[in-house]
């Protein structure tokens, strides 16, 4: 059964003003109630409907017209993965966040959902009675809804600018101010402008390691990027921190290995760091590097979350400075928050370089945006240009 609808339920693209309308689709009445209460407590979002099955969501989508759908994977009548393409066929700009428990099967389904058009995924706690797990789920879900929904509205504002009159109006119209209302202006960074973040020169030192940090939208970005990095992976260590829970990082490492055609795996505490492979921070652990005699080794850390994340990017970035000093190239890809910015500052202060993904190609321009706006980046590039630039820098280019 759905809750009372909030506002008008007209079809078409998402509204550019007012609260984000969220459709909750989960066969668990406990989860539906929990998420409904969380959303109801936020000023910028509202529950558009609370439904038990994917079939109900597909059949009622036009009437509900949500901006965001939180879609469970395992449901009767029509599961989340089967409902996903049907929902997007009816409303192509619908933001869909897949929700699932932490099993290998569900992690694999979540990755499949990303390839079919889901915007993101979120792991559900095994039990909502565990306070820390419920708190993490609460925080992450609300942030994902807010940031992904805001990106949708920015895209809608860019794609659908106010229509100009067909012929000059003979006199100012009373409704003219409404056409020009300042709702969700297009970000200036989508195109070069005088207000775009400034960049700094690349390091004069040759990089000896590639560090990559990412979060929301990161799995797709990483799998695309590593397909171009074969020459770098073969000759230099590549270490990646992606905000992701256990089990999910296991699957991501397998996908990275297939995409890069190079060895890729979750890092193991104490293992040596060598060229020729990709090291991925395992879910639930911070990944650092440390000296081990004459070698460099992985050092996993089970300490508290950093920047609300575990693993976090900053611990990797800052620990690498003690090993490689300024001979570091770091890349900050799409993601919420500002993780990687402080570590990136330290890398630049040590003589290294930072590249950030640009806003137009990012799912969420939080992490790369924080680095760009801090003025620490040597380049701010679309995802499809980062691989070629990284290859040139490791081949000797310094500009």
Its domain, for residue 134, covers 20-158
Residue 191, domain member (yes or no): no
pLDDT for the residue 165: 44
Domain end (from 140, 158, 176)? 158
Residue 358, domain member (yes or no): yes
Instruction: Say yes or no: 148 and 282 in one domain.
Output: no
Residue 183, domain member (yes or no): no
Among the options 26, 339, 346, 358, which is catalytic? Answer: 339
Residue 102, domain member (yes or no): yes
pLDDT for the residue 378: 98
- In the residue annotation, 319 being an active-site residue is answered as no
Alpha carbon separation from 186 to 151, 160, 173, 311, 379 (Å, rounded): 10, 11, 25, 32, 22
Instruction: Say yes or no: 269 and 130 in one domain.
Output: no
Instruction: Say yes or no: 139 and 247 in one domain.
Output: no
Residue 383, domain member (yes or no): yes
Instruction: Say yes or no: 218 and 124 in one domain.
Output: no
Residue 179, domain member (yes or no): no
Instruction: Say yes or no: 206 and 151 in one domain.
Output: no
- CATH code, 218: 3.40.50.180
Alpha carbon separation from 149 to 16, 22, 141 (Å, rounded): 10, 9, 12
How many structural domains comprise the chain? 2
- CATH code, 87: 3.40.50.2300
Instruction: Say yes or no: 73 and 206 in one domain.
Output: no
Instruction: Say yes or no: 260 and 148 in one domain.
Output: no
pLDDT for the residue 135: 86
Instruction: Say yes or no: 123 and 35 in one domain.
Output: yes
Among the options 140, 147, 203, 243, which is catalytic? Answer: 243
Residue 312, domain member (yes or no): yes
Residue 187, domain member (yes or no): no
Of 249, 336, 259, the residue nearest 287 (C-alpha): 249
Check: CB of residue 212 under 8 Å from CB of residue 239: yes
Instruction: Say yes or no: 99 and 212 in one domain.
Output: no
Instruction: Say yes or no: 254 and 380 in one domain.
Output: yes
- In the residue annotation, 325 being an active-site residue is answered as no
pLDDT for the residue 45: 97
Tens of pLDDT, residue by residue, the chain (399 residues): 444 344 444 444 445 568 999 999 999 999 999 999 999 999 999 999 999 999 999 999 999 999 999 999 999 999 999 999 999 999 999 999 999 888 899 999 999 999 999 999 999 887 666 666 788 899 999 999 999 998 777 766 665 454 444 444 444 333 333 333 333 333 333 333 346 899 999 999 999 999 999 999 999 999 999 999 999 999 999 999 999 999 999 999 999 999 999 999 999 999 999 999 999 999 999 999 999 998 999 999 999 999 889 999 999 999 999 999 999 999 999 999 999 999 999 999 999 999 999 999 999 999 999 999 999 999 999 999 999 999 999 999 988
Q: In what order do the strands lie in the sheet with 209-214?
A: 264-266, 278-280, 238-242, 209-214, 328-332, 353-357, 379-381
CA atoms within 13 Å, Cβ hemisphere of 146: 14
Among the options 215, 259, 353, 361, which is catalytic? Answer: 215
Instruction: Say yes or no: 206 and 345 in one domain.
Output: yes
Domain end (from 158, 191, 215)? 158
Domain end (from 95, 128, 158)? 158
Instruction: Say yes or no: 305 and 383 in one domain.
Output: yes
- In the residue annotation, 215 being an active-site residue is answered as yes
Residue with tokens 């984000």: 20
Look at the pTM and tell me if it is higher than 0.75.
yes
């Amino acid at each position: 059964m759905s809750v009372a609808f909030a506002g008008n339920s007209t079809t078409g693209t998402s509204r550019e003003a007012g609260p984000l309308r969220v459709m909750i689709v989960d066969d668990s009445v406990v989860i539906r109630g929990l998420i409904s209460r969380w959303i109801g407590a936020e000023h910028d979002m509202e529950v558009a409907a609370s439904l038990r099955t994917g079939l109900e969501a597909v059949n009622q989508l036009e009437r509900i017209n949500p901006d965001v759908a939180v879609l469970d994977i395992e449901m009767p009548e029509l599961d989340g993965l089967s409902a996903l393409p049907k929902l997007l066929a009816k409303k192509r700009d619908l933001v869909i966040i897949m929700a699932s428990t932490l099993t290998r099967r569900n992690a694999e389904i979540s990755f499949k959902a990303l390839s079919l058009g889901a915007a993101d995924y979120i792991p559900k706690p095994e039990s909502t009675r565990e306070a820390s797990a419920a708190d993490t789920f609460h925080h992450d879900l609300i942030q994902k809804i807010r940031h992904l929904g805001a990106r949708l509205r920015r895209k809608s504002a860019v794609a659908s600018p106010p229509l100009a009159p067909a012929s000059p109006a003979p006199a100012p119209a009373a409704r003219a101010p409404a056409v020009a209302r300042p709702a969700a202006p297009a970000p200036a960074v989508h195109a070069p402008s005088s207000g775009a973040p400034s960049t700094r020169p690349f390091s004069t030192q040759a990089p000896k390691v590639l560090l990559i940090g990412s979060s929301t939208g990161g799995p797709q970005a990483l799998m695309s990027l590593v397909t171009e990095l074969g020459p770098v992976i073969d000759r230099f260590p590549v270490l990646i921190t992606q905000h992701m829970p256990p089990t999910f990082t296991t699957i991501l490492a397998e996908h990275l290995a297939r995409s890069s055609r190079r060895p890729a795996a979750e890092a193991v505490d104490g293992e040596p760091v060598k060229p020729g492979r990709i090291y991925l921070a395992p879910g639930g652990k911070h990944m650092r590097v440390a000296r081990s005699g004459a070698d460099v080794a992985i050092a996993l850390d089970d300490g508290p979350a950093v920047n609300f994340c575990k693993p976090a990017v900053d611990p990797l970035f800052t620990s690498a400075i003690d090993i490689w000093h300024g001979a570091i190239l770091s890349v900050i890809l799409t993601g919420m928050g500002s993780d990687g910015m402080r570590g990136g500052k330290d890398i630049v202060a040590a003589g290294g370089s930072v590249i950030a993904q640009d806003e137009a190609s990012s799912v969420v321009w939080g992490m790369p945006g924080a680095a760009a706006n801090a003025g620490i980046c040597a380049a701010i590039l679309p995802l499809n240009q980062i691989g070629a630039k990284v290859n040139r820098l490791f081949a000797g280019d310094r500009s």
